[in-house]
Chains A and B, each alone.
Chain A
Amino acid sequence: MKKSALFSILVIVLLIPATLYLGSRLSGHWYYLTSTLIIVEIMIPFFLAFETRRPQARELVTIAVMAAIAAASRAVFAFIPHFKPITAIIMITGIAFGPEAGFLTGAVAAFASNFIFGQGPWTPWQMMAFGIGGFLAGLLFHNRKLTAKPLWNAVILAVYGFFSILLLVGPLLDSCTIFTMGTEITPAFVGTILLSGAPVNVTHGVSCAATMLLFSKPLLEKLERLKTKYGMMEARRDGV
Chain B
Amino acid sequence: MKSDAFGRFHPAVCFLYFVGAIGFGVVIQHPAYAAAGCIGAACYYLVLRGRAAWKRVLSLLPIFALLSVINPLFNTAGSRVLFFVFGRPYTWEALCYGMAIAAVFVVMMLWFSCYNLVMTSDKFTSLFGNLIPALSLLLVMVLRMIPSFLRKASQIQHARQSIGKSVGEGSRISEKIRHGMTVLSALTDWALEGSVVTADSMRARGYGTARRTNFQIYRMTAADWTLLVLIVLLAAAVLLAGGTAAAYTPVLSIEPLTWGFAAYCLYVLIPTALHVKEAVLWRISISKI
Contacts and interface: CB of A to CB of B under 8 A. Distances in A.
B3 interface: no
Interface in B115-147: 115-116, 120-121, 132-135, 137-139, 141-143, 145-146
B208 to A, nearest CB: 7
A60 B137 contact: yes
B27 A28 contact: yes
Most buried by A among B67, B113, B180: B180
Interface stretch (A9-17, A149-157, A164-172, A176-184): A176-184
Contacts of B54: none
A119 B246 CA distance: 29
A60 B145 contact: no
Contacts of B139: 108, 111-112
Nearest to B174: A210
Q: Give the size range of A's interface with the partner.
A: 35 or more
B-side binding surface: helix, strand, loop or mixed?
Answer: helix
A219 B185 contact: yes
Contacts of B109: 120-121
A104 B132 contact: no
A76 interface: yes
Given A28-B27, A222-B192, A61 B74 contact: no
Contact of B196 (A51, A58, A121, A180): A58
Nearest to B177: A210
Contact of B134 (A50, A65, A80, A210): A50
B145 A119 contact: no
Interface in A223-240: 223, 226, 230, 232, 240
A112 B45 CA distance: 23
Interface of B: 23, 26-29, 67, 71, 74-75, 77, 94, 97-98, 101, 105, 108-109, 112-113, 115-116, 120-121, 132-135, 137-139, 141-143, 145-146, 149-150, 153, 167, 173, 176-178, 180-181, 183-185, 187-189, 191-192, 194-196, 198-200, 202-203, 207-208, 245-249
Given A58-B199, A80-B180, A222-B189, 10 more contacts: A47-B132, A47-B135, A57-B202, A65-B194, A68-B145, A71-B142, A80-B173, A183-B71, A183-B97, A218-B185
